[in-house]
Amino acid sequence: MMRSATYSRPIRVHIAPAAIRANYRLAKQRTPGARVWAVVKANAYGHGQWRAVDALRGEADGFALLECENAVALREADVSQPILLLEGIFSAADVAAVVEYRLTTVVHCAEQLEWLIAGSRPEQPLALYLKLNTGMNRLGFTAVTLPRAMELLRRLPQAEVTLMTHFAEADGERGIAWQLERFRALAGDWRGPLSLANSAVILRHPAAHGDWVRPGIMLYGASPFADQSAAALGLRPAMTLASRVIAVQEIEAGERVGYGGTFTVPRRMRLGVVACGYADGYPRHAPSGTPLAVAGRRTVTVGRVSMDMLACDLSDIPAAGPGAPVTLWGEGEGGAVPVDEVAAAAGTIAYELFCAVAPRVPVVLGES
């Protein structure tokens, strides 16, 4: 890793492997008896696939991701745990890797089964996650398509099958009971293993854990719920987006701030300009009033987010001048701001903020 001093612009994304491990352990604690796939898709929700894999290499029961080539890379880097392809294979060309690298693969449509039948032999072990569509209406077999899948499965006698589904409203009022009911109806007298739960189900619906759970967002320390904070759930933030104030302006009442002049200063304001903009992955649609912390104190953004900068109100933080530390989200020298609060203010979710952090932002690895 390069020293921070190598970069002149002060924005950094700090990743804490110890927090990822602590959050993984919480997922284990909350699912006694179940095994836990660490979901590291989407570059580990923007935290870096290898950073997450290395943080959990010694303890994850398995790793779940999307692309065959990433799964193969994990195997070639001596990851010995099961690896799950969450969307299964994308073409017949992926079958060889599934067999050779012993990848566990979701099957959600008949075509995937046909590719596996054509590309594998009965003496080659095969681990499949048969996905049932119970109301998410994205991937999986329904009452109409399941009989054909079962027929095709008979031509893969070597396959060890786990039944899986995915809940659409585990974090909401409608809950999961209605989908569980459909799942049971589809599963019939199935006695084999089950995989049902993402983070929201792990934390809120202990009756629906099954044999293998699939936590993603909770590993990275954000809450899957709009009405319960990550801290209240016992999660630790794994990502901190930090920067510094690079300029201070004293603005008279009635002046406007930034592109489009969307914010009018109500009274004389001490305004801080922070080296962080939408080209760093900070959401441009974050309105005036989005929380951040400067020099240990919470404040809010004012005006539109530009490509490389945003502005904030420093009226109540007189000690914060150029160079003052800023926390955009997470916990750092600038203070603490839960990513979920920034996401809520910007009308999105922590998942999207994490995934959007731009490659130009230098990464600093926390102590592991």
- Rank residues 12 and 108 by Cβ distance to ligand PLP and give the closer one: 108
Cβ of residue 306: shortest distance to ligand PLP, in angstroms?
31
Note the Cα 305 to chain centre separation in Å: 24
Is the CB of 200 or the CB of 292 nearer to ligand PLP?
200
Out of 24, 41, 45, 129, which one is annotated catalytic?
41
Among all residues, whose Cβ is closest to ligand PLP? 216
Q: Quote the tokens at residue 171.
A: 């974090």
Given 101, 129, 131, 259, the catalytic residue: 259
Beta carbon of residue 137, minimum distance to ligand PLP (angstroms, whole number): 14
CB of 201 to ligand PLP, least distance (A): 8
Nearer Cβ to ligand PLP (20/274): 20
Nearer to ligand PLP, 117 or 127 (CB): 127
Q: Which residues, including other chains, have CB under 8 Å from residue 191's CB and lie 6 or more apart?
A: none
Of the pair 104, 299, the CB lying nearest ligand PLP is at 104
CB of 321 to ligand PLP, least distance (A): 39
- Three-state secondary structure call for residue 332: strand
Does residue 351 have an active-site annotation?
Answer: no
Is 28 annotated as catalytic?
no
Strands (E) in the chain, as ranges, are 12-15, 35-39, 62-65, 83-85, 104-107, 126-131, 159-164, 194-195, 212-213, 239-251, 256-257, 263-264, 269-274, 291-294, 297-302, 310-313, 325-332, 335-337, 363-365
The least distance separating ligand PLP from the CB of residue 45, rounded to whole angstroms, comes to 7
* Residue 67 dihedral angles phi and psi, to the nearest 5°: -95, 135
**Dihedral sign, Cα of residue 183, residue 186, residue 187, residue 193:** negative
Which are the contacts of 282, defined by CB distance < 8 A and separation ≥ 6? 241, 276, 305, 310, 328
- DSSP per-residue letters across 121-138: -TTS-EEEEEEB-SSS-S
Judged by the rule CB under 6 A, the positions of this chain that interact with ligand PLP are 39, 41, 86, 166, 198-200, 214-217, 224
- Show which residues are catalytic: 41, 259
